[in-house]
Structure 1
């Protein structure tokens, strides 16, 4: 579940406590921590709601100007359930230690590593695609040679292959290749296997969108 920076900042300020999403099935649960540029957002509860009952007041409470704007932002099929997600601010800054205890990137007791839900979330909005694409492009721009997009394509073509063998294809040592894949995993794009990796549903969808745009 991605949260726009402006919304995350409002959650941090305490002015927004609820979000709405249309998903075929529930993708987060109470206790999930979502890492955002504004800090950690915690899912306090999630329940299915009747989308026809939502009003402009509900939309404004979620940070949207109107119910039509809220509905316009829904992804997925028209018949998919709409979920009311109550949220609160967990503290910290991006990559920092949350105020509620635990390690950055970890999870509270009974909660879920936010990357797990992120990997399964292939309902990518235009904003989602733009944000992740920008991050990957920057990874490539800052490296001696582009690697981020090439690594995703390589993992798609060769799942469950040793990291050392994949790295060799790109001319990278295993100790260089593995940390780079961890950066892709942090974006929810890859999953680790007993041997090697595979793309997550999110990673597959991103590459499909990238190919269709070319």
Structure 2
């Protein structure tokens, strides 16, 4: 079930708890927990409903601008299919987040290595696991098609393989590309692989940027902004002026800053001291 970044952020905030889809048959089941960019989203209900029964409250709970907008959106594609009302709720952080940071001991590392060996043996194209981990370590935040080309693979099969590594906490998806997790690095180090990333300077201390989408991430990174503390040195107007930063990214940055006890720098043009005196 596809959901836009803005929808996911609203589900996490509790502002959205419904979605409506036109399907020939239900594609999700109640109780299913989907892994998303904001964490786990649980399906709480799935019901087939007539379009005529939709209400303005349904539209608000689904994040639509109005009941008319909701109905128009449903009629835009596959208008001949029935409508399903899907209940949603945020179900917490993705457990893989903690797994990525959990450096395995020697025994667990051997178990992971044996699992990687099984994947290599089962692959019709030959061993790929260590080469993929090493490539991601060498080229973090690189687009998947570029990595796939270096591996001599097509992009869909390359992404499928990376997802297998991600399930075990060995890699992490970024807005652009991937990076090796501490868990993945520990496995490669244990096996004695020469890693380009081992000698890479440690990232600057601070809070990493939240998931903002590729365009916004590129815009901030091009300005040298990779941490929330650096965002707080800019005004909201300065960030919004960057090409690629839209309302969703700005809203997500504001929420992340607020959660970290930070805020955008006050814009001099709107600060109280900049207001002309009337006395």
Q: Which one has a larger percent helix, Structure 1 or Structure 2?
A: 2
TM-score, structure 1 normalization: 0.48
Q: Which one has a larger percent strand, Structure 1 or Structure 2?
A: 1
Q: For the pair shown, which has the larger CA radius of gyration, 1 or 2?
A: 2
TM-score, structure 2 normalization: 0.38
